[in-house]
């Protein structure tokens, strides 16, 4: 209650209030092209000429951008059109969870689907925070563990953990996987890592960090390896099963990458991470791109420090995750992608033992989270 539930309730209530005020105070701003919202009748419709503060505001404020794609998978299954934007770009675990919750909730057109997504996201966030506290307590004291949960809840892009996005489910599966690995419950660790793979693409990175954790616990002695290491095979197995499903369904094992390429992603063409910075300075950039750059530099610094100070498995995961999200040649969405680098929150929680750092982080992060929530609620790009 003290470390997870109360901070969760307080911060989510703050974001709801901010989103509600944004919709009521700034609803006259012109709507973005192709923006949509849930109308009074519970169905999705195009916003014209501006957002409505009266049409299900408590649901609409969390249902923007990629939320529509996740709901399309949950509601209608996968659809793939070569060369065009398709929902195969989005991994299936989160939409499947939405579909499961929707089966037991009262149904009302599109509205109930988005409500189901909000329920899944916030339930997964509570689970993620619970396991994060347990994981941090293995190496630090209770106060540091509590700070870790709080720092997640006030992080500038924390809104994505409660929106109809897959970030909270990915965080829950990843943190729980590391926790069970530390407890040497390898079947649970492997299964949860497999769930991470089916939730978001960075999940494919968990195999090597968990293998390092396994070997670290056995002091890197080959004779100490046991059959339980086979549980880590669930990670590539889940990815392989998903790719084979797309091959069977659409005759295209690359349906994920081909769909993402329609958004301009160079999926499958990994570059050196610094190429993203080179491209950033080679052309004029907007204010949103400056924000992306600032978060990218911050993530780089925190990743390097985490790699040097935390457990080998945490450090390897942080470095590989940072490389993964910058190796596509762009810094776009970095404020949201940072949420995948779990060891960063452990490092920040440790630094929070300094009263000055703790106050500065809470004030700065909370202020930015308010600003980003206002932008998100009003269909302005955040990450």
pLDDT, tens only, 143-196 = 999 999 999 999 999 999 999 999 999 999 999 999 999 999 999 999 999 999
- Is 260 a member of any domain? yes
pLDDT, tens only, 326-336 = 887 778 889 99
Average pLDDT of the segment spanning 10-23: 97
pTM > 0.85: yes or no: yes
Average pLDDT of the segment spanning 210-239: 94
> Which pLDDT score is estimated for 288?
76
pLDDT, tens only, 253-271 = 998 988 887 776 554 456 7
Number of domains in the chain: 1
pLDDT over threshold 60, residue 8: yes
Average pLDDT of the segment spanning 92-108: 91
- Is 382 a member of any domain? no
- Is 383 a member of any domain? no
- Is 358 a member of any domain? yes
- Share above pLDDT 70 across residues of the chain, in percent, rounded to a whole number: 98
> Which pLDDT score is estimated for 283?
73
- Is 212 a member of any domain? yes
pLDDT band at 33 (very low <50, low <70, confident <90, very high): confident
> Which pLDDT score is estimated for 376?
95
Mean pLDDT of the chain: 92
> Which pLDDT score is estimated for 265?
53
Token code pair at residue 200: 């978001």
Residues of the domain holding 10: 5-377
Name which of 23-27, 140-144, 286-290, 375-379 the model is least confident about: 286-290
Three-class SS of the chain: CCCCHHHHHHHHHHHHHHHHHHHHHCCCCCCCCCCEEECCCCCEEECCCCCCCCCCHHHHCCCCCCHHHHHHHHHHCCCCCCCCCCHHHCCCHHHHHHHHHHCCCCCCCCHHHHHHHHHHHHHHHHHHHHHHHHHHHCCCCHHHHHHHHHHHHHCCCHHHHCCCCCHHHHHHHHHHHHHHHHCCCHHHHHHHHHHHHCCCHHHHHHHHHHHHHHHHHCCCCHHHCCHHHHHHHHHHHHHHHHHHHHHHHHCCCCHHHHHHHCCCCCCCCCCCCHHHHHHHHCCCCCHHHHHHHHHHHHHHHHHHHHHHHCCHHHHHHHHHHHHHHHCCCCCCCHHHHHHHCHHHHHHHHHHCCCHHHHHHHHHHHHHHHHHHHHHHHCCCCCC
Average pLDDT of the segment spanning 316-342: 91
- Is 315 a member of any domain? yes
Average pLDDT of the segment spanning 209-236: 94
- Is 191 a member of any domain? yes
pLDDT over threshold 60, residue 110: yes
Residue 282: CB atoms within 10 Å: 8
pLDDT over threshold 70, residue 84: yes
Average pLDDT of the segment spanning 363-369: 97
> Which pLDDT score is estimated for 270?
66
pLDDT over threshold 90, residue 355: yes
Name which of 92-106, 260-274, 290-304, 313-327 the model is least confident about: 260-274
pLDDT over threshold 90, residue 284: no
pLDDT, tens only, 234-245 = 999 999 999 999
Contact present, 2 and 133 (Cβ < 8 Å): no
> Which pLDDT score is estimated for 29?
86
pLDDT band at 34 (very low <50, low <70, confident <90, very high): confident
Q: Which residue has the higher pLDDT, 378 or 288?
A: 378
Average pLDDT of the segment spanning 265-286: 69
- Is 158 a member of any domain? yes
């Amino acid at each position: 209650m003290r470390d997870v539930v109360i901070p969760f309730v307080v911060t989510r209530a703050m974001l709801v209030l901010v989103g509600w005020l944004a919709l009521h105070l700034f609803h006259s701003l012109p709507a973005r092209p192709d923006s949509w919202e849930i109308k009074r009748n519970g169905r999705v419709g195009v916003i014209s000429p501006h957002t409505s503060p009266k049409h299900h505001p408590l649901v609409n404020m969390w249902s923007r951008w990629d939320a529509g794609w996740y709901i399309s998978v949950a509601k209608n299954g996968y659809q793939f059109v070569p060369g065009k934007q398709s929902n195969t770009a989005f991994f299936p675990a989160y939409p499947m969870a939405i579909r499961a919750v929707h089966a037991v909730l009262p149904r009302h057109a599109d509205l109930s689907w988005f409500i189901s997504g909000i329920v899944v996201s916030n339930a997964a966030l509570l689970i993620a925070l619970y396991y994060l506290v347990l994981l941090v307590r293995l190496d630090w004291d209770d106060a540091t563990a509590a700070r870790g949960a709080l720092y997640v809840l006030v992080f500038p892009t924390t809104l994505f953990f409660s929106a109809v996005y897959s970030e909270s489910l990915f965080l829950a599966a990843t943190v729980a996987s590391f926790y069970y690995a530390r407890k040497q419950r390898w079947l649970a660790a492997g299964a949860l890592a497999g769930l991470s793979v089916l939730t978001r693409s960075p999940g494919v990175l968990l195999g090597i960090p968990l293998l390092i954790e396994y070997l670290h616990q056995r002091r890197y002695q080959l004779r100490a390896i046991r059959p339980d290491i086979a549980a880590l095979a669930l990670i590539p197995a889940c990815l392989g099963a998903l790719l084979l499903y797309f091959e069977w369904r659409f005759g295209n094992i690359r349906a994920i990458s081909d769909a993402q390429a329609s958004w301009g992603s160079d999926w499958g063409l990994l570059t050196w991470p610094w190429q993203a910075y080179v491209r950033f300075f080679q052309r004029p950039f907007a204010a949103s791109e400056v924000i992306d750059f600032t978060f990218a530099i911050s993530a780089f610094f925190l990743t390097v420090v985490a790699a040097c100070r935390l457990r080998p498995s945490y450090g390897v995961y942080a470095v590989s995750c940072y490389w993964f999200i910058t190796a596509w040649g762009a810094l776009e969405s970095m404020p949201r992608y940072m949420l995948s680098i779990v060891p960063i929150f452990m490092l920040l929680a440790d630094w929070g033992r300094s009263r000055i750092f703790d106050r500065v982080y809470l004030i700065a992060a909370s202020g930015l989270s308010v600003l980003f929530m206002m932008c998100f609620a009003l269909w302005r790009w955040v990450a």
